[in-house]
Amino acid sequence: MTSALRAMDRPRFVDWAFGHYLNIAPPSFVSASGPTPARPRAAVAAA
């Protein structure tokens, strides 16, 4: 596990991982109005 953590500490890996994340969920993926409020658990269970 130590070698895996050491590999993740490299800027090349960080750049790749962040770029991969942005390809999956670009900033435009987020709505301009912000997150929608969570429904109470009782409402979710009744649905």
Q: Which pTM does this prediction carry?
A: 0.49
Residue 35 is predicted with a pLDDT of 67
pLDDT in tens, 2-45: 888 888 889 999 999 999 988 988 888 776 666 677 777 775 55
Residue 16 is predicted with a pLDDT of 94
DSSP string, 1-47: -HHHHHHHTSHHHHHHHHHHHHHHS-GGGS-TT-PPPPPPHHHHHH-
Instruction: Report the distance separating Cα 45 and Cα 18, nearest Å.
Output: 36
Task: Please report which confidence band the pLDDT of residue 1 belongs to, taking 50, 70 and 90 as the band edges.
Answer: confident
